[in-house]
Chain A
């Protein structure tokens, strides 16, 4: 064992001595690996940020949320089944909140305006967590302007109600122009429907579902609408963004493989060429060590260690450079500043950089193959 440590120590001195003798060879390898590493890391960061940007947009829209709306103007349509009834088959895999938005003048005691939303019995069950167990209130004001739990007199046209105030839920943002709404059971204001209404529903997938489950949900929704002859209904779905995200990730994988292969090959060629040049200058010492009975495998390790060491230095420097210019580079490309906070999203985490790095290291390892071929040249042909 001690012998191999001594040999290892000698070989390390040999590496160091070569670096001092020919700094150009070291610098050339470092610069090539640094440039390739920086390029791959930048692309990796770009894909990560692009993906996160889409994910944020999807999250804002509701990754699991579908929105369907239909305008009804004809009095005769009142008899049609409501979304509350029609979308009942979706309730086993999603929360369905169906409303009819009625044109009516709604004011509270403070003179504020509200939109009027009517809901059916099935949606009442889904709204239970929001409306609470207090069944004495006949109406509910959903607004951030008033404290929760107040009883506020509200007038709908000429009819007075006592409305309980509740906090706006997240899904309220999906309803167009709906900062504050008055929720009424459909039975309490059914006669208002005769003036026409806009019907809409939010279909919110269960929290434990993944993003891919929204596609079959959307398809089921479209099928239900088609079966009911609701061709005018408009469906908004995050599928387009999800498809875009899938395309981005697919492009990222292709880029990672393609650029990684090209980068690895470039490293293998540059490192390999320089290693061969250095070996030609050093082959007498290698042969002398082999004449003592040192296995050629151990001598090959010297070249492997050198290549991996230089690659490690280059990778660290590349990460330092690219991470240092992160905000400057990506803000100019057009990414939102909220995405560029590395405390929140770090595209240079080692786990994220592992994929491009492994190609570079593979190239560095392959670079010693030519030496592996020539190092076995008979000692007697090298040493005189």
Chain B
């Protein structure tokens, strides 16, 4: 594995106010699944957004596979898959159209978009709901659809922010199966979670709590 296949974070500093959420954070994430674990508010989601280019670090650098700038729209369209905790789907488009739209934006040929849409709908058990709008889906179905939509472009970087939060075991197992067996080759997949059920996945891990004083604070309260 070379560094150009990995995500490399160097001395990242970021904060929403005066207190930094990340202070001189450095890490390298290699292809495969990495679980970023930690309590709520410890900065897991922030790290994912920084890597995705959705936030800008106050200092430090992030390099993503292929040497792209992570805040470039072209890279985000073609090589990044991101699953947010909430509000993942376009409400006025059907599930199928949500997938097709992102695949087309990624520049995939129409036949590939169609083939991958059907494959991912099937893989995530969404075929019966393909022509429904997101408002007619349960939370678990919406989350699976969001994952399918992110995977349709076979991204180099796949970032999931609490993908199983609030989901039942069945939905959780479907997502775990996908993450274990169907990640694109060479994909760097980071999952920010505090869901213990995901611990059973083969993965590298990063305990985010160690970067923050919050853990000591919560332990004292507990």
> Could you list which residues of chain A lie within 8 angstroms of chain B, going by C-beta atoms?
2-3, 6-7, 10, 13-14, 17, 284-285, 288-289, 291-295, 378-381, 383-384
CB A257 to nearest CB in B, in angstroms, measures: 41
Say which one of B27-35, B52-60, B169-177, B211-219 lies at the interface with A. B52-60
The 9 closest A-B pairs by CB, nearest first: A293-B77, A380-B54, A380-B49, A380-B55, A293-B76, A379-B54, A293-B73, A3-B104, A3-B105
Interface residue? B92 (CB, 8 A): yes
User: Which secondary structure dominates chain A's binding surface?
Assistant: helix
Interface residue? B201 (CB, 8 A): no
Interface string of B79-105 (1 = CB under 8 A from A): 010101111101111000100111011
B88 adjacent to A293 (CB under 8 Å):
no
Query: Contact partner of B101 among A7, A285, A381, CB < 8 A?
Result: A7
For residue A11, which residue of chain B has the nearest CB?
B92
Give chain B residues whose Cβ lies under 8 Å from the Cβ of A7. 101, 105
Are A384 and B84 also in contact (CB < 8 A) when A6-B101, A291-B52, A379-B54 are? yes
A-B contact count (CB 8 A): 73
Interface residue? B167 (CB, 8 A): no
B87 adjacent to A294 (CB under 8 Å):
no
Give chain B residues whose Cβ lies under 8 Å from the Cβ of A384. 45, 84-87
Are A293 and B105 also in contact (CB < 8 A) when A2-B110, A380-B49 are? yes
CB A22 to nearest CB in B, in angstroms, measures: 15
Interface residue? B66 (CB, 8 A): no
Beyond the given A6-B105, A293-B105, A383-B54, could you list 12 further A-B residue pairs with CB under 8 A, ordered by the A residue number? A3-B101, A7-B101, A284-B87, A288-B88, A289-B90, A292-B105, A293-B74, A378-B56, A379-B49, A379-B55, A380-B50, A384-B45
Give chain B residues whose Cβ lies under 8 Å from the Cβ of A17. 92
A294 adjacent to B55 (CB under 8 Å):
no
Interface residue? B107 (CB, 8 A): yes
For residue B108, which residue of chain A has the nearest CB?
A3
Give chain A residues whose Cβ lies under 8 Å from the Cβ of B80. 293
B91 adjacent to A378 (CB under 8 Å):
no
Give chain A residues whose Cβ lies under 8 Å from the Cβ of B77. 292-294
User: Which secondary structure dominates chain B's binding surface?
Assistant: helix
Report Cα–Cα, A228/B174, bound state, in Å.
Answer: 112
Are A291 and B54 also in contact (CB < 8 A) when A2-B110, A7-B101, A380-B49 are? yes
Give chain B residues whose Cβ lies under 8 Å from the Cβ of A293. 73-78, 80, 105
> Could you list which residues of chain B lie within 8 angstroms of chain A, going by C-beta atoms?
45-46, 49-50, 52, 54-56, 73-78, 80, 82, 84-88, 90-93, 97, 100-102, 104-105, 107, 110
Give chain A residues whose Cβ lies under 8 Å from the Cβ of B107. 3
A294 adjacent to B105 (CB under 8 Å):
yes
A285 adjacent to B91 (CB under 8 Å):
yes
B92 adjacent to A14 (CB under 8 Å):
yes
For residue B45, which residue of chain A has the nearest CB?
A384
Give chain B residues whose Cβ lies under 8 Å from the Cβ of A10. 90, 92-93, 101
Query: Contact partner of A285 among B54, B56, B90, B97, CB < 8 A?
Result: B90
Report Cα–Cα, A359/B213, bound state, in Å.
Answer: 58
Are A295 and B55 also in contact (CB < 8 A) when A10-B92, A14-B92 are? no
A378 adjacent to B85 (CB under 8 Å):
no
For residue B113, which residue of chain A has the nearest CB?
A2
Report Cα–Cα, A381/B78, bound state, in Å.
Answer: 22
For residue A296, which residue of chain B has the nearest CB?
B73
Give chain A residues whose Cβ lies under 8 Å from the Cβ of B93. 10, 13
Report Cα–Cα, A13/B102, bound state, in Å.
Answer: 17
B52 adjacent to A380 (CB under 8 Å):
yes
Report Cα–Cα, A292/B110, bound state, in Å.
Answer: 18
For residue B74, which residue of chain A has the nearest CB?
A293
Are A288 and B90 also in contact (CB < 8 A) when A2-B110, A3-B104, A384-B45 are? yes
Report Cα–Cα, A305/B208, bound state, in Å.
Answer: 45
A292 adjacent to B86 (CB under 8 Å):
no
Report Cα–Cα, A381/B49, bound state, in Å.
Answer: 9
CB B62 to nearest CB in A, in angstroms, measures: 13
A291 adjacent to B87 (CB under 8 Å):
no
Report Cα–Cα, A384/B46, bound state, in Å.
Answer: 9
Give chain A residues whose Cβ lies under 8 Å from the Cβ of B56. 378
Give chain B residues whose Cβ lies under 8 Å from the Cβ of A379. 49, 52, 54-55
CB A239 to nearest CB in B, in angstroms, measures: 66
CB B92 to nearest CB in A, in angstroms, measures: 5
For residue B56, which residue of chain A has the nearest CB?
A378
CB B81 to nearest CB in A, in angstroms, measures: 10
Report Cα–Cα, A7/B101, bound state, in Å.
Answer: 7
CB B88 to nearest CB in A, in angstroms, measures: 7
Give chain A residues whose Cβ lies under 8 Å from the Cβ of B50. 380
| 11 contacts across the A-B interface (CB closer than 8 A) | A3-B105, A3-B107, A10-B90, A284-B87, A285-B90, A292-B101, A293-B75, A293-B105, A295-B73, A380-B50, A381-B55
Give chain A residues whose Cβ lies under 8 Å from the Cβ of B91. 285
A292 adjacent to B92 (CB under 8 Å):
no
Give chain B residues whose Cβ lies under 8 Å from the Cβ of A381. 55
CB B135 to nearest CB in A, in angstroms, measures: 12
A2 adjacent to B55 (CB under 8 Å):
no
Report Cα–Cα, A284/B84, bound state, in Å.
Answer: 12
Report Cα–Cα, A383/B35, bound state, in Å.
Answer: 21
CB B69 to nearest CB in A, in angstroms, measures: 12
Report Cα–Cα, A7/B106, bound state, in Å.
Answer: 12
Report Cα–Cα, A380/B46, bound state, in Å.
Answer: 8
Give chain A residues whose Cβ lies under 8 Å from the Cβ of B86. 384
